[in-house]
Structure 1
Amino acid sequence: MPETPAPSSLSGIAALARARDPDRFLCALFAPAAKREALFTLIGFNHELARAREAARTPLLALIRLQWWRDVVAEAAAGKPPRLHEVAGPLHAAITAGLLEPAALLALADAREAEAEEEGMPTEAAFQAYLRGTAGGFAVAVGRLLGASGAALVALQEAGVAYGLAGVLRSVPALAGQGRCLLPAETLARHGLSAEAAAAAPGAAGPVVAALAAAGARPAEARRLGLGRLVTAAGLPLVLARRDLRRLRLGRAVPPGRGLGDRLAVIGAGLLGRI
């Protein structure tokens, strides 16, 4: 088992990854030591993109934040000096070292624009595209960093979609508190709801959450990732996705913090290399 670093020994970007995305931080501990700092940096970058809409008062301001991060990536790729920011600095270093691909980072930023759309997710196809580009794209970027290619990247994207779906479903109450809903409008409509109604009363969206969780759980349970040990960390979020989707399809809440069972499930899969 990889040694869990003491908080005092973490780099700035590792500490940020641990605080902002503990799920992926835990999974990242199973990556080869030489790649971990770049992986923590990718986690930090993804977190900044994910909070663009949350931190902005309007969709336009969210788009401006996303463009700022695109500029950070483009400047690093062009060899310009890094910007003064706790994530931008490590990101610049990882890009210039050839560890993170600018095109993949820009694609992650592009995919987040869907969160700034006034109409939300109008269709199930748009929702799936969003999941493939965000959590799916993140999983592919991690896979590339760790040396995956070909069919492994396709499998990782699907695993990322499952993790992203579980994340959206877990976040329905929190997003409602911001007056937002990312559930697809056409799915809501089949249950007699609108995005506005779900945001106003998230409990009413329970049947929609359960239905989407059940649909996502079936392929997630069936999928087994045949990844080499060096790439295991890229697929470990699927372990948590399976557990979350099982809870959600049964109408059970997912605890805000990970319990011992979730952590042990990730550790066991990481040690055995079986996902």
Structure 2
Amino acid sequence: MSAEDLSQLLQRADPDRRLAALFAPAGARARLFALYALNHEIARIADATSESLIGEMKLTWWHDAISDLYAATPKVRRHDVTEALAPLTGLLPQTELLDLIDARFEDVAAAPHADLDALLDYVDRTSGRLIRLGLILTGGELPEPQIRDAGRAWGLTGLMRAFAWRARIGRAPVAGDYLTELGGSPAMLAQGLGSDKAKAAIQPVRAIAEDAARGFAAAGPLAVEAVPAVGYVVLARAYLKRLPDNPFEVPAERSLLARQARLGWLSLTGR
């Protein structure tokens, strides 16, 4: 699959990361596209499979496929994404890619987030790790606290925007212990019930996302090398403002033109 083919895939599957990646030189852009395509493949498994065992088998396939790329005698399995990732093994640490995959086993197992720490750990291992890997591919550098804020701002915002789907697979972005205190349960949310309890349970999560977005912005302007790998995070604050009061409702989209303009300004100013 060519970089153009990956771009078309991400235009549908991960448009904001793709928009930011367009500000990278051609080589780095293609590398980011390959990384984001892998993320798309593993992230969609929980939604595409109704049986946890099948989901686990698919994730295990990806885990083994990535391991094969790093073997003493590398093996590239026949898949567009593995073929695109094969040239990146000298750049991306194997352990980081494998943990990116392993974090998704919790999704297919429909395991509720036990508490706020568990939810944040999941976001750090997925959204945060993806930012860290993207920075490696572009040669960008950020302080660790800013990477953490970026991952949490974007990751938590994305989970809240997808609340109805996340609830349906038993992974609503709320602290399980707090939801229990409120008299709710993951099973209730999976049926689309308890919107009042969901609204209350999501407030601490939203507060953390908003704090993280502010912290990311306050850390200072982004270097030009970092913009393609993390620039999309500047869109989080606008998405947070558009979250509906009822978490089960679909949030309003921000226009493509507005997102393009915001990222264009970022590329010029670093802010």
Q: Shorter-chain TM-score: which interval?
A: 0.7 to 0.9
Quote the residue 2:41 is aligned against: 48
Of 234, 239, 253, which aligns to 2:234? 239
**Is contact 2:128–2:155 with CA below 8 Å preserved after alignment?**
yes
Equivalent AA in structure 1 for residue 99 of structure 2: A
Matched, 1:218 2:211: yes
**Is contact 2:173–2:205 with CA below 8 Å preserved after alignment?**
no
Matched, 1:260 2:257: yes
Partner of 1:236, secondary structure, is: helix
Equivalent AA in structure 2 for residue 247 of structure 1: R
Cα distance between partner residues in 2 of 1:83 and 1:258 = 38
Equivalent AA in structure 1 for residue 261 of structure 2: L
Matched, 1:135 2:127: yes
The structure-2 alpha-carbon separation of the partners of 1:157 and 1:144, relative to structure 1 and needing over 3 Å to count, comes to farther
Partner of 1:11, secondary structure, is: helix
**Is contact 1:39–1:142 with CA below 8 Å preserved after alignment?**
yes
**Is contact 1:121–1:182 with CA below 8 Å preserved after alignment?**
yes
Quote the residue 2:96 is aligned against: 104
**Is contact 2:131–2:230 with CA below 8 Å preserved after alignment?**
yes
**Is contact 1:209–1:248 with CA below 8 Å preserved after alignment?**
no
Partner of 1:35, secondary structure, is: helix
Cα distance between partner residues in 1 of 2:120 and 2:103 = 11
CA displacement at 1:94 relative to structure 2: 2.6
CA displacement at 1:74 relative to structure 2: 1.1
Of 4, 8, 23, which aligns to 1:15? 8
Matched, 1:80 2:74: yes
**Is contact 2:119–2:174 with CA below 8 Å preserved after alignment?**
yes
**Is contact 1:99–1:145 with CA below 8 Å preserved after alignment?**
yes
**Is contact 1:17–1:44 with CA below 8 Å preserved after alignment?**
yes
CA displacement at 1:207 relative to structure 2: 3.1
Matched, 1:94 2:88: yes
Q: TM-score, normalised by structure 1?
A: 0.85
* 1:175-190 matched pairs, under 5 angstroms: 175-177=166-168, 181-190=172-181
Quote the residue 1:5 is aligned against: none
Quote the residue 1:4 is aligned against: none
% identical equivalent positions:
30
Q: Which has the higher contact order (CA 8 A, sep 6+)?
A: 2
Matched, 1:145 2:137: yes
**Is contact 2:107–2:171 with CA below 8 Å preserved after alignment?**
no
Equivalent AA in structure 1 for residue 251 of structure 2: V
Equivalent AA in structure 2 for residue 220 of structure 1: A
Cα distance between partner residues in 2 of 1:67 and 1:34 = 29
CA displacement at 1:118 relative to structure 2: 4.0
Of 209, 230, 234, which aligns to 2:225? 230
RMSD across aligned positions (CA): 2.4
Quote the residue 1:6 is aligned against: none
Quote the residue 2:243 is aligned against: 248
- Structure 2 residue runs without a partner (length 5+): none
CA displacement at 1:249 relative to structure 2: 7.7
CA displacement at 1:45 relative to structure 2: 0.3
Equivalent AA in structure 2 for residue 68 of structure 1: W
- Structure 1 residue runs without a partner (length 5+): 1-8
CA displacement at 1:259 relative to structure 2: 4.3
Partner of 1:83, secondary structure, is: coil
Q: TM-score, normalised by structure 2?
A: 0.86
CA displacement at 1:256 relative to structure 2: 4.8
Q: Deviations over 1:34-91 (max 9, x none)?
A: 2111100000000111112122222222222111111111111124332111212111
